[in-house]
Amino acid sequence: MKLLEGKNVIITGASRGIGKGIAQVFGKAGANVAFTYSSSEAPALELEQELSAMGVKAKAYKSNAGSFAESEELVAKVLEDFGGIDVLINNAGITKDNLLMRMGEEDFDTVIEINLKSVFNMTKAVQRTMLKQRKGSIINMSSVVGVKGNAGQTNYAASKAGMIGFTKSVALELGSRSIRCNAIAPGFIETEMTDKLDEKTVQGWRDAIPLKRGGSPEDVANACLFLASDMSAYITGQVLNVDGGMLT
């Protein structure tokens, strides 16, 4: 029996990067995967096909995680299409980096809306279903930057730190109904998000990591697999660092 056989999962932002890696690992583990994208339709449809070929149910939805109304609509559609939701992974995220001195109000608000308010939107939208079934696992993709801070990322760090407070509060509110909520704090994971950085900065990050390499989407996906499955049935309210030892 596969670890997530027959489980229905929603992943936000899975057209590429870490979200795509999670979808692939979860598909291999037998999960039915509903996932979202905001604009990358072609890669999303390609992933939908790749997952379907694994013999699981898979569907891509265009939905802005930062919108409360779109998140409610999305969850209603997924319930109609899949019949239930066992796992929610709040993964969608963006960066709009700048030193505080140069950061505009819009860049602060947009990052908070897409990275943090999205977690409220989606968690609220799946809550009723999980409460009814008295079971569920919610995983929020935070960052080491939310734990430690990072110059040039006040907006991003605030959004990722906010996700940790949200995670711990949901764990306290919903634990009595066997709904678990945990966060993952990835370190430096090599995706399109980090492709924006120059090679010198990237090498600097790699050198500072005890395991001497950047992480892969699969490294993060494997941690998600553990937190989504019953292997972690007694774990809630935690932040799991997947960072090659960066914060040690």
Residues that bind ligand NAP (CB under 6 A): 12-19, 36-40, 64-66, 91-94, 114, 141, 143, 186, 188-189, 191-194
Could you give the angle at which helices 17-28 and 41-52 cross, rounded to 10 degrees? 10
Q: Could you give the CA distance from residue 192 to residue 198 in angstroms, rounded to a whole number?
A: 12
- Complex with ligand NAP: residue 145 or 171, whichever CB lies closer: 145
- Complex with ligand NAP: residue 125 or 230, whichever CB lies closer: 125
Give least dist CB 164 to ligand NAP, A: 12
- Complex with ligand NAP: residue 179 or 224, whichever CB lies closer: 224
Name the nearest CA neighbour of 238 among 149, 161, 189, 168. Answer: 168
Give least dist CB 38 to ligand NAP, A: 4
Give least dist CB 128 to ligand NAP, A: 21
Give least dist CB 185 to ligand NAP, A: 7
Q: Could you give the CA distance from residue 109 to residue 127 in angstroms, rounded to a whole number?
A: 25
Is residue 156 annotated as part of the catalytic site, yes or no? Answer: yes
Structure tokens at 83: 């019949």
- Complex with ligand NAP: residue 130 or 157, whichever CB lies closer: 157
Q: Could you give the CA distance from residue 103 to residue 114 in angstroms, rounded to a whole number?
A: 17
Strand duo 8-11 + 32-37: pairing: parallel
Residue numbers annotated as active site = 156
